[in-house]
Amino acid sequence: MSDRSPDEGGIVVIGLGRFGCRLAGSLAALDHEVLAIDRNAEQVQKWSAQLDRVVQADATEEGVLRQLGVADLGRAVVAIGASVEASVLTVLALVELGLPQIWARATSEKHAKILGSVGAHHVIFPEAETGERVAHLIVSRMLDFIEFGDNFAIAKVRVPQVLLGRPLRELAPAEHYGVRVVGAKLPGERFRYASDDTVLAPGSMLIVEGSIDQVQSFAALT
C-alpha cells in the first residue's frame, strides 16, 4: 500500500450513473482535479463537456487504470451501482494499484461486506442515507438533518417560541433540552457561532447537536 497522503493528487470517479455524475460535478466545483471513467460511450460523451477528463474504459482492469495514471491519484470513488461484479473487480484493481483511499458505493449489506473484504476503505450507501435523512425531515419540524454514528445528529431548526428574547446563558438548552446550540442565524444576518450572550429573535434559525431523539424533540418545541 502506498504511503503517500490521500489528500495528494486528484480524484478518480468510476461509474457515471446518476450518483457518480453528481459526485464528479460537485468535486470539480470544489476545484479538485477529477478523472471520470465509465465503460459506456454515451455517458462519456454526455459528460465530456462538463468535466475536464472523462474517459471510456474498463475500470475492472488494473492495467487500464495504470495506463490512465490512476495510480498517481490520491483518492478513488467506485460509484458503480448496476453491477456488483464490476464494482468489486474495480475495487480490487484499485487496491492492486495501491491507492491510499478507496471509497465504494454499496447497494446492499452483502455488497458492502464484499467491498470491505476486498479492500475498500470506506463503503457508502447513498440511497439508504438519503432515504433516512428525508424520512426524518418529513416526520419532524427540522429544516435539515445529518445523522452520525452512535446516535448523534446535527440539525437546522427554527427557533422555538419559548427561546425568544433571552440569552442562551439563561435558557441553558443543554441542561433543559439535552441539545447544544452551536450556530444561530438571526433575521437578515448570516449563520454564526452561538455564544452564551446570543439572544434569539423571531424568525431565527439554529444549528443544534445532540442525540437523535433530543434533536427531534427540540425541533418540535413551540
List the chain pLDDT tens, one digit each, 222 residues.
344 444 556 899 999 988 999 899 999 888 889 999 999 998 899 888 888 899 999 999 999 999 999 999 989 999 998 899 999 999 999 999 999 999 999 999 999 999 999 999 999 988 877 777 787 777 788 899 888 867 888 999 999 998 999 999 999 999 999 999 999 999 999 999 999 999 999 999 999 999 989 998 999 987
Length of the chain: 222
Backbone angles phi, psi at 117, to 5 degrees: -70, -25
Q: What domains, with CATH codes, occur in the chain?
A: 11-124 (3.40.50.720), 130-219 (3.30.70.1450)
Strand, coil or helix: what is 164? strand
Q: Identify the helix (H) or strand (E) that includes residue 158.
A: strand 152-158
HSE-CB for 44 with a 13 A CA cutoff = 14
Determine the Cα–Cα distance for residues 216 and 36; give it in Å rounded to an integer: 39
Specify the pTM: 0.71
For residue 106, give Cα distances in angstroms to 79, 88, 161, 212: 8, 10, 42, 25
